[in-house]
Amino acid sequence: MNYLMVVEYNGNLFCGWQIQNNGRTVQYELKKALEILFKEDITLFAAGRTDSGVHAKGQVVNFHSDKQLDESELEYRLNAILPRDVVVRKVKIVDDDFHARFSAIAREYEYLLHPGKSAIYNGLCWQYRRFIDDSFLELNEQVVEILGEKDFKSFCKSATKLEHYRCFVEFAKLEKKKRFFLFFYKS
């Protein structure tokens, strides 16, 4: 059986998605919970990896097992085992050839910006000290510069070796939401 999961997590206390020796990771927490339920070694595949402190609202993950468990029962049982900062939003049995990373057709990202310091939103958004209301329209006009296919090599670690560094950004927008600014894009 090939299980697809949609996972949400608060990344504040994680060293990112991928299992590491130097700290707590989302992949490790999910793997540990799944292995308790399936009583076998589980290998997880994610649509992408997040860095330390990054949150996810809909991370797509898949894994294979010979055992078939009811989807809603599995979701319920996983959420009973997982720590409070990781939630499985959906479990679905999918075709064997589905792979969370290679079957993904797009990825969406959101960045929440908050003017000044906030205790409540600490760790949930980027807190900036400058007030940007006056330049909001100008910033939104400049967001279109990242649309289309661009080379993102400058955003990679210096030792990263990829076939290419090009990415197609389909949509990008900066939007004002009360006191916040929300920047989101789809690639």
Q: Are 98 and 7 in contact (CB under 8 A)?
A: no
Q: How many CB atoms lie within 10 A of CB 42?
A: 18
Please report, for the chain, how many H helices and E strands are present, in that order: 3, 10
Which residue type does 44 have?
L
Pick the catalytic residue from 41, 51, 95, 151: 51
Assess whether 96 carries a catalytic annotation.
no
- Which residues make Cβ contacts (< 8 Å) with residue 186, sequence separation at least 6? 106, 107, 108, 109, 169, 170, 171, 172
Q: Among all residues, which ones are annotated catalytic?
A: 51
